[in-house]
Chain A
Amino acid sequence: MNVKNGGGFAIPVQAPAPLPADELLSLREIDSFTEELLTQPEVEPRLRTICDFWVPARADWALVTLTEHPSGVLKIAAIAHRDAQRGNALLERLRGQPYKPQDRLFSSEASGEIALRLQFGDRHIGVLHLGIPPAEPVNAQLLERIASRSAVGLHNAQLFEQQRKIALSFQNAALTTELPRIEGLRFDAVYEAGQAEALVGGDWYDAFAVADGRIVLSVGDVAGSGLEAAVAMTSVRQAIRGVAQVHPDPAVMLAAAERTLRLQHKDLLVTAFVAVLDSVTQECAYANAGHPPPLLRTEDGAVRALRIGRPPLGLWEFGSRFIVHHAHVPPGSLLLLFTDGLTEATRDILEGESRLRAALEASDILVYDNVARRIHEVVLGQRSLDDVAILSVRIESAREVWRWRLDPMWADAAARVRTEIRAILAAEAFSAPHQTDFEVIFSELMSNMLRFAPGTAEVILEQHGEDFVLHVLDKGAGFLFVPQLPPDLFSESGRGLFLIANLSRDFSVVRRPGGGSHARVVLLQKDGATQ
């Protein structure tokens, strides 16, 4: 702590001595100053608190300069004057400029000038300049203590703002992913960082297509705020993304998120909702870990909440499983995923929820170009104290697909469908070897059905962007696919599904909600893609 003589007074620097009774007053003053200083975390309100302490009660004017990094130049950050208007005018003119006492900004004053160095550890935070009337007795200890508290308060506020800035840009960078563009579907999203005293939180939303054309949706909220929450948010979100590429199953994706959280951020709690949307079957499979359930607006305009799930990630017992629920989402449906900032803005969750429902039930909601933005406007208006993430998914029209029904028992029927599909692929410029690959794949799927799921199958061919996806849906007991060769080279069976996986870009089998299996194969169409 350094007390410099900047103007008319010499301030003696004393070693702290036992406080005489008359200094108890200043102790109380220091306490109330400190309390006031801590009410707001940002730099600007703290500067105001510091100036208000001095002006007008104890000084004619006050001026604070802060050290700019990395130049080390002191620049004016706050000015207060007994004449408030004059103070404001000066600040407006001089903010961000270096302060030169020789400019004699306050030359008309009769007061002398004291300069107090604001120091925290080895960090030079800035300088507090005060214009103190000569008649005023100067309590050196009070000066010293207030300056010291001011330095700490400003230092912490600077750290706070720095962290907030980093977290915000981190989160913005992580969240600005392009939403998928898929025929028949419409995605819109809003993310708003919390304002006022709230820190940047760990809210996220995500939507992307996996290889076979299914859409993975996720939304979540990391409890806590700041950089750690933002970092945890991205690692959890990426865990979900990564697993989705190999196994887009909501329960598996949440399990991966849970493990990631435990390994990397074991003290944090995360609520998350994950869904897999299949626009071909118009089914949405989802799982929820403590997140506010998304709302589904059905084609008749009714709104219902999806089923709730288990506790948040981070609270899980090992070995417990996530339950996957299903919702039917025909054209005309609208899914709304959101974080609790949307419903808790009024500090009355029930009111927030009913406001949200009403907004979604509104008959004109589908007219709006950006449903997520519209919901944000109606429910929150301008107030968003907390972080808010909203993702809306509209199912606008059914996918146009080729469809067949057949029983593989009848070899002729299977052969006919195979020929028809091959003709379609040939017309779509599939190379001859890849047409053959398709035939192998089709044959393997039919054989597999005959073995495990006798009965009628539904075969669907779908174009998804450039890719063609072959779907085979059966009603059998379901089979599991392990993408490995049989361990015994001489095994006579167990190669069929392996062949499919190796002749295709992507192959997966999932259990259907009503029983049975759904195999999806993304066909290869050009040479040189696989070996």
Chain B
Amino acid sequence: MSEAISGPEAGSAIVIKLLGGEYDLARKDALLEELLPARSASRVILDCADVAFMDSTALGCLIGLKRAMIERDPKSEIRLLALRPPIERLFRIAGLSKVFEIVTVE
């Protein structure tokens, strides 16, 4: 499920609400498909509110997305919204809190 934000930056910023559930090796292809619309954007906001689980395969997919974006626009960024604490911790442990902007919503 994705929708482009209309407005001055249309086409470059995109919000994707991830389907949620458990993202592991078995759902790698599905995740890549969900992220596909973001590859051409330079600002991506991923709403992770419904994500219950991610493993390193899922982290790898997100990193792949970031690389693809940077290649086109070095200033590209990905914001992760509403990450559940255990998953946020995973990003920190994997050394990825600098690669992604993790937005904590109180």
Contact = CB atoms under 8 A, between A and B. Distances in A.
Contacts of A495: 56, 59-60, 94
Contacts of A411: 26
A489 B55 contact: no
B64 A492 contact: yes
Q: How big is the A interface, by class?
A: 20 to 34
Given A437-B86, A493-B60, A495-B60, 19 more contacts: A433-B85, A436-B86, A440-B54, A440-B55, A440-B90, A443-B55, A444-B56, A447-B55, A450-B25, A485-B94, A489-B95, A489-B98, A490-B63, A492-B60, A493-B56, A496-B56, A496-B57, A498-B93, A503-B90
Interface in A419-456: 433, 436-437, 439-440, 443-444, 446-447, 450
Interface in A495-522: 495-496, 498-499, 502-503
Contact of B94 (A414, A443, A499): A499
A443 B23 CA distance: 10
A85 interface: no
Contact of A447 (B25, B64, B90): B25
B58 to A, nearest CB: 9
A49 B56 CA distance: 80
Contacts of B64: 492
A439 B53 contact: yes
Interface of A: 411, 414, 433, 436-437, 439-440, 443-444, 446-447, 450, 485, 489-493, 495-496, 498-499, 502-503
Interface of B: 24-26, 53-57, 59-61, 63-64, 66-67, 85-86, 89-90, 93-96, 98-99
B93 A503 contact: yes
Contact of B57 (A436, A437, A447): A447
Contacts, number: 63
Contact of B86 (A433, A493, A496): A433
B98 to A, nearest CB: 7
A169 B90 CA distance: 51
15 contacts: A414-B26, A436-B86, A439-B53, A440-B53, A440-B55, A440-B90, A443-B55, A446-B24, A446-B25, A489-B95, A490-B66, A492-B60, A492-B64, A495-B56, A495-B59
Contacts of A503: 90, 93
B101 to A, nearest CB: 15
Contacts of A499: 55-56, 90, 93-94
B87 to A, nearest CB: 8
B57 A490 contact: no
A495 B59 CA distance: 9
Count chain B CB atoms within 10 A of each CB in A436, A485, A491 and give the residue with the most: A436
B56 to A, nearest CB: 4
* 3 A-B pairs closest in CB distance: A411-B26, A496-B56, A492-B60
A444 B66 CA distance: 22
A440 B64 CA distance: 20
A491 B55 contact: no
A498 B56 CA distance: 9
A436 B93 CA distance: 14
Contacts of B66: 490
A392 to B, nearest CB: 43
Contacts of B85: 433
A15 to B, nearest CB: 85
A296 B85 CA distance: 51
B60 A489 contact: no
A414 B90 CA distance: 21
B99 A490 contact: yes
A447 B24 contact: yes
A433 B90 CA distance: 11
Given A490-B63, A498-B94, A499-B94, A436 B25 contact: no
Contacts of A490: 63, 66-67, 99
A7 to B, nearest CB: 88
B67 A436 contact: no
A447 B93 contact: no
Contacts of A450: 25
A90 to B, nearest CB: 80
B51 to A, nearest CB: 12
A498 B60 CA distance: 13
A492 B63 contact: yes
Contacts of B94: 485, 495, 498-499
B99 A489 contact: yes
Contacts of A437: 86
Contacts of B99: 489-490
A440 B59 CA distance: 12
Contacts of B59: 495
B24 A443 contact: yes
A499 B55 CA distance: 9
